[in-house]
C-alpha cells in the first residue's frame, strides 16, 4: 500500500481524523466499508500485520475451516458463492481480500501499525492513537482488534525447557516435516478437532492431551451442490432465502445451547449417539464423554475427529499434564511421553479482563483498571468515561449458537450511526451515561446467570477466573439485533450541539437530559 508521505504525515500529526479503526479483520473491514458508504472517508484503518484478514490471515493450520455454515458466516451485504458448506480458511481469506478489493478499502488501511495506547483529550474531544511507529489523532475510534487475536501458550511448568519445536495453532509454520516425528497436541477445542485429523495423516505418531472432553456433533460438510451454486449465481434471491432459513435454524439452536431446556437434553442425546456410533471401545468412549451441559463450551463439529483419535498412530492421553521436560511431556501419574514437536491448540488471550492496549479515557481513567475483574460495556459497544470509542466484538457480544458476523454487523451499524450523528451535529463528544450502562449490565448479568455458560458445569474461556461472564450475549441474535437497531440518544451525554440531534429513524430527539445539564464546553 503506497500512501503519499505528506498524506501519512498529516494523518499522524496535527490533522484530526474523523475516525481511526483498529484492525483489518472482518469487523475492521466491515466498519471501513460502512463508514465510506455513509460518506465518511476521513479515517484510517490501522493494522499491525501486512495483510488484511485478521484471524483468517493468522490461522493457517492444516484443516482450518469455519464451523458455521459459510452462507451465514459472511457479510450480509457481500454474498459469495461458497465452494463448500463450511468453507476452508483459505477461501474465507480470499473472500475478505476480494471484498476489500471490490470496495476499494485498501486506500484506508495503514499496515504495520501496532496500536499500543489510546488516550482521550477531554478538552479537545480527541483520541490520540499511539502505534509502535507513530501517533494519529481522531475524533472517534472503532476498536476492531478482535477478541481472539493473541495466541496464548499454556503456562505449563517447564515449557521453556522443551528441546524440540513448539508451535501454536494460530502461528502455524508449514515448513516442518512431521513424517518421522512424534507430535504432541495440547488441547481438544474447536481448533484441535480440525487440526488433529490432518496431523494423524502427516505425522509418524500423534499424542493428544485432553483436559476436558467436549461435545462433538457431525459437521456433515460437503461441497455446495453444483445445482445450488448455479441457482445462487442466476437468482441471488435464492441465496438470501437460504441464508435466512439457516439463520432461523441457528436461532432455534439457541434454545438448546444458551439455556437448559428439553432441547439441551436432545443435543446431549445426539452427542452420545454420535460418540457410540463412532467409537466402539467403551473405555475410550468414557474418556470422550463430556461431564457438562452442551453449550457450556463451544460445540465441536467434526466428521473425522473421532476416527482420527482411533487411528493406529494416534493416542489419547487424559491424565493431566504435570510438566514439560526437554524431550517430552510428563503427566501426573509420572509417565514421560516423548515428543519431537508440541502443538498448542490452547486458544487465545481473550480480551475479557483488559483491552490489549492501554486505554485512558476522561479524567485519566484507565479502562485496563476498570476491566481488571471483567470487561463490561453498554450494548457491548460503548463504555462510560470513554467518549467516542466503539468496540466491535466487545464485551458480551459473542454468540454460542450462530454466526458472530451477524452480531458484528449490528455493532458496526450502531457505531457508524453514532459517528454520523456526531458528524452531522458537529458534536465534540458522545458518551454513554453510567446510568444507562449500569441498567443494561444489570439486565444482561441477570440473564447470564441463567445461561448454560454460567451454570452448565464447565469452565470455559467465556468466563473470568472469578466466574464473571464478560464475553457472551445471553439470547437470540434477533434479540441482540433488536437492542442495537435504534440508537437511543437519551442514554448518551454529549458536548456540542445535541439540541437538534436527529434519531436514526429521522425523528427529532429531545436533548438527552444528562446532556442538557452539562455545560456546553465539557462536563
Ligand atoms: P479453546 O476453545 O480455548 O480450546 C483450548 C483447548 O486447550 C481446550 O481443550 C483446553 O482445555 C486446552 N488447554 C488450554 N490450556 C491448557 C493447559 N494448560 N493444559 C491442557 N490443556 C489446555 O481454543 P480453540 O480451540 O483455539 O478455540 C478458541 C475459539 O476460537 C473457539 O471457541 C471459537 O470461538 C474460535 N474458533 C472458531 C473456529 C471456527 O471454525 N469458527 C475454529 C477454531 C476456533 P479445557 O477445555 O480443559 O480448558
Which atom of ligand 1 is the closest one to the Cα of 65?
40
Q: Which of 25-34, 252-261, 485-494 has the lowest mean pLDDT?
A: 485-494
Give the pLDDT confidence score for residue 513 in this predicted structure. 34
β partners of residue 479: none
- Angle, vertex CA 301, rays to CA 296 and CA 98, nearest 5: 110
From atom 35 of ligand 1, which residue's Cα is the shortest distance away? 190
Give the pLDDT confidence score for residue 486 in this predicted structure. 87
Which pTM does this prediction carry?
Answer: 0.92
Ligand 1 centre to CA of 212 (Å) is: 10
Ligand 1 centre to CA of 260 (Å) is: 23
From atom 32 of ligand 1, which residue's Cα is the shortest distance away? 298
| 470 occurs within a structural domain | yes
Ligand 1 centre to CA of 296 (Å) is: 13
Cβ of 67 closer than 6 Å to ligand 1, yes or no, is yes
Ligand 1 centre to CA of 460 (Å) is: 9
Give the pLDDT confidence score for residue 11 in this predicted structure. 59
Q: Decide if pLDDT at 10 tops 70.
A: no
Ligand 1 centre to CA of 188 (Å) is: 7
The arithmetic mean of pLDDT across residues 143-151, rounded, is 89
Give the pLDDT confidence score for residue 523 in this predicted structure. 25
Cα 337 to Cα 185, 228, 314, 340: the distances in Å are 12, 49, 13, 10
From atom 17 of ligand 1, which residue's Cα is the shortest distance away? 154
Question: Looking at residue 270, which CATH number applies to its domain?
Answer: 3.50.50.60
Q: Indicate whether 210 and 269 sit together in one domain.
A: yes
Give the pLDDT confidence score for residue 349 in this predicted structure. 84
| 248 occurs within a structural domain | no
Which atom of ligand 1 is the closest one to the Cα of 188?
9
The arithmetic mean of pLDDT across residues 68-77, rounded, is 97
Give the span between the Cα atoms of 238 and 12, in whole angstroms: 46
Q: Indicate whether 269 and 375 sit together in one domain.
A: no
SS3 128: strand
Q: Which of 344, 370, 392 is the last residue of a domain?
A: 344
Give the span between the Cα atoms of 334 and 104, in whole angstroms: 58
Q: Indicate whether 169 and 307 sit together in one domain.
A: yes
Residue scoring higher pLDDT (175 or 370): 370
From atom 14 of ligand 1, which residue's Cα is the shortest distance away? 346
Which atom of ligand 1 is the closest one to the Cα of 67?
40
Q: Indicate whether 330 and 203 sit together in one domain.
A: yes
Q: Indicate whether 139 and 25 sit together in one domain.
A: yes
Q: Which of 304, 325, 344 is the last residue of a domain?
A: 344
Mutate to test the pocket of ligand 1, among 66, 158, 190, 291 (most ligand atoms within 8 A of CB): 190
Q: Indicate whether 398 and 321 sit together in one domain.
A: no
Give the pLDDT confidence score for residue 516 in this predicted structure. 29
Structural domain span for residue 41 = 5-149+349-517
Ligand 1 centre to CA of 355 (Å) is: 20
Ligand 1 centre to CA of 192 (Å) is: 7
Cβ of 156 closer than 6 Å to ligand 1, yes or no, is yes
| 473 occurs within a structural domain | yes
Ligand 1 centre to CA of 152 (Å) is: 10
Give the pLDDT confidence score for residue 255 in this predicted structure. 97
Q: Indicate whether 112 and 193 sit together in one domain.
A: no
Mean of all residue pLDDT scores within the chain: 92
From atom 23 of ligand 1, which residue's Cα is the shortest distance away? 347
Mutate to test the pocket of ligand 1, among 187, 296, 345, 401 (most ligand atoms within 8 A of CB): 187
Q: Indicate whether 334 and 378 sit together in one domain.
A: no
Q: Indicate whether 179 and 116 sit together in one domain.
A: no
Cβ of 191 closer than 6 Å to ligand 1, yes or no, is yes
Which atom of ligand 1 is the closest one to the Cα of 398?
34
SS3 220: coil
pLDDT classification of 352: cutoffs 50, 70, 90:
confident
Cα 388 to Cα 23, 36, 164: the distances in Å are 17, 18, 48
| Residue pair 375/143 in contact by the 8 Å Cβ criterion | no
CB-count burial class (<10 Å; 0-12, 13-18, 19+) for 466: exposed
Instruction: Of 359, 421, 404, 351, give the one whose Cα is nearest residue 385.
Output: 359
Ligand 1 centre to CA of 431 (Å) is: 35
Give the pLDDT confidence score for residue 9 in this predicted structure. 53
Give phi and psi for 405, each to the nearest 5: -70, -25
Give the span between the Cα atoms of 470 and 277, in whole angstroms: 37
Cβ of 212 closer than 6 Å to ligand 1, yes or no, is yes
| 208 occurs within a structural domain | yes
Q: Indicate whether 190 and 134 sit together in one domain.
A: no
Give the span between the Cα atoms of 487 and 243, in whole angstroms: 26
Mutate to test the pocket of ligand 1, among 72, 347, 351 (most ligand atoms within 8 A of CB): 347
Ligand 1 centre to CA of 435 (Å) is: 36
Cβ of 347 closer than 6 Å to ligand 1, yes or no, is yes
Which atom of ligand 1 is the closest one to the Cα of 460?
48
Q: Indicate whether 80 and 145 sit together in one domain.
A: yes
The arithmetic mean of pLDDT across residues 61-73, rounded, is 97
Cβ of 400 closer than 6 Å to ligand 1, yes or no, is no
Mutate to test the pocket of ligand 1, among 189, 288, 323 (most ligand atoms within 8 A of CB): 189
| 483 occurs within a structural domain | yes
| 221 occurs within a structural domain | no
Cβ of 171 closer than 6 Å to ligand 1, yes or no, is no
pLDDT in tens, 301-351: 999 999 999 999 999 999 999 999 999 999 999 999 999 999 999 998 887
Ligand 1 centre to CA of 29 (Å) is: 26
**Cell digits for 52?**
488484511
From atom 3 of ligand 1, which residue's Cα is the shortest distance away? 347
Q: Indicate whether 290 and 328 sit together in one domain.
A: yes
Ligand 1 centre to CA of 118 (Å) is: 30
| 285 occurs within a structural domain | yes
pLDDT classification of 2: cutoffs 50, 70, 90:
very low
Q: How many domains does the chain have?
A: 2
Chain centroid to CA 374: 17
Q: Which of 302, 323, 344 is the last residue of a domain?
A: 344
| 224 occurs within a structural domain | no
Cβ of 298 closer than 6 Å to ligand 1, yes or no, is yes
Give the pLDDT confidence score for residue 6 in this predicted structure. 44
Cβ of 215 closer than 6 Å to ligand 1, yes or no, is no
Amino acid at each position: 500500500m503506497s500512501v503519499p508521505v505528506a498524506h501519512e504525515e498529516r494523518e499522524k500529526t496535527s490533522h484530526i481524523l474523523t475516525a481511526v479503526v483498529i484492525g483489518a479483520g472482518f469487523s475492521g473491514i466491515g466498519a471501513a466499508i460502512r463508514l465510506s458508504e455513509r460518506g465518511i472517508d476521513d479515517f484510517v484503518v490501522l493494522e499491525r500485520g501486512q495483510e488484511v484478514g485478521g484471524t483468517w490471515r493468522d490461522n493457517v493450520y492444516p484443516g482450518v475451516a469455519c464451523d458455521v455454515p459459510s452462507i451465514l458466516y459472511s457479510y450480509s451485504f457481500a454474498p459469495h458463492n461458497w465452494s463448500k458448506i463450511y468453507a476452508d480458511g483459505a477461501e474465507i481469506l480470499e473472500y475478505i481480500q476480494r471484498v476489500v478489493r471490490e470496495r476499494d478499502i485498501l486506500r484506508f488501511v495503514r499496515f504495520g501499525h501496532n496500536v499500543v495506547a489510546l488516550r482521550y483529550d477531554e478538552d479537545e474531544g480527541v483520541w490520540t492513537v499511539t502505534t509502535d511507529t507513530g501517533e494519529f489523532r481522531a475524533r472517534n475510534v472503532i476498536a476492531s482488534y478482535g477478541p481472539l487475536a493473541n495466541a496464548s501458550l499454556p503456562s505449563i511448568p517447564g515449557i521453556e525447557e522443551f528441546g524440540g519445536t513448539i508451535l501454536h495453532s494460530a502461528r502455524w509454520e508449514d515448513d516442518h516435516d512431521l513424517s518421522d516425528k512424534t507430535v504432541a497436541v495440547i488441547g481438544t477445542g474447536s481448533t484441535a478437532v480440525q487440526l488433529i485429523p490432518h496431523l494423524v495423516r502427516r505425522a509418524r505418531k500423534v499424542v493428544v492431551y485432553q483436559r476436558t472432553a467436549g461435545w462433538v456433533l457431525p459437521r456433515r460438510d460437503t461441497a455446495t451442490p453444483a445445482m445450488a451454486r448455479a441457482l445462487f449465481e442466476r437468482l441471488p434471491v435464492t441465496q438470501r432465502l437460504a441464508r435466512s432459513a439457516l439463520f432461523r435454524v441457528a436461532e432455534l439452536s439457541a434454545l438448546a445451547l444458551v439455556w437448559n431446556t428439553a432441547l439441551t437434553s436432545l443435543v446431549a442425546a445426539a452427542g452420545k449417539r454420535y460418540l457410540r456410533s463412532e467409537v466402539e471401545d467403551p473405555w475410550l468412549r468414557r474418556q470422550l464423554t463430556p461431564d457438562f451441559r452442551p453449550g457450556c463450551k463451544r460445540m465441536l463439529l467434526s466428521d473425522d475427529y473421532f476416527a482420527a483419535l482411533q487411528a493406529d498412530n494416534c493416542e489419547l492421553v487424559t491424565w493431566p499434564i504435570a510438566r514439560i521436560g526437554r524431550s517430552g511431556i510428563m503427566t501426573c501419574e509420572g509417565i514421560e511421553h516423548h515428543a519431537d514437536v508440541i502443538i498448542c491448540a490452547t486458544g487465545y488471550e481473550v480480551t475479557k479482563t483488559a483491552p490489549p492496549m492501554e486505554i485512558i479515557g476522561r479524567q485519566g481513567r484507565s479502562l485496563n483498571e476498570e476491566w481488571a475483574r471483567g470487561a463490561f460495556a453498554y450494548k457491548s459497544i460503548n463504555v462510560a468515561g470513554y467518549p467516542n470509542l466503539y468496540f466491535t466484538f466487545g464485551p458480551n457480544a459473542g454468540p454460542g449458537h450462530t454466526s458472530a458476523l451477524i452480531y458484528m454487523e449490528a455493532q458496526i451499524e450502531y457505531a457508524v450511526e453514532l459517528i454520523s450523528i456526531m458528524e452531522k451535529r458537529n458534536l465534540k463528544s458522545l458518551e454513554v451515561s453510567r446510568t444507562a450502562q449500569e441498567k443494561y449490565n444489570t439486565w444482561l448479568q441477570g440473564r447470564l446467570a441463567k445461561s448454560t455458560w454460567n451454570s452448565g458445569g464447565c469452565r470455559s474461556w467465556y468466563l473470568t477466573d472469578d466466574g464473571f461472564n464478560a464475553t457472551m450475549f445471553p439470547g437470540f441474535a434477533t434479540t441482540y439485533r433488536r437492542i442495537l437497531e435504534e440508537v437511543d440518544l437519551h442514554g448518551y451525554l454529549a458536548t456540542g450541539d445535541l439540541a437538534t440531534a436527529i434519531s436514526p429513524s429521522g425523528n427529532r430527539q429531545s436533548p438527552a437530559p444528562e446532556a442538557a445539564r452539562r455545560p456546553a464546553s465539557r462536563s
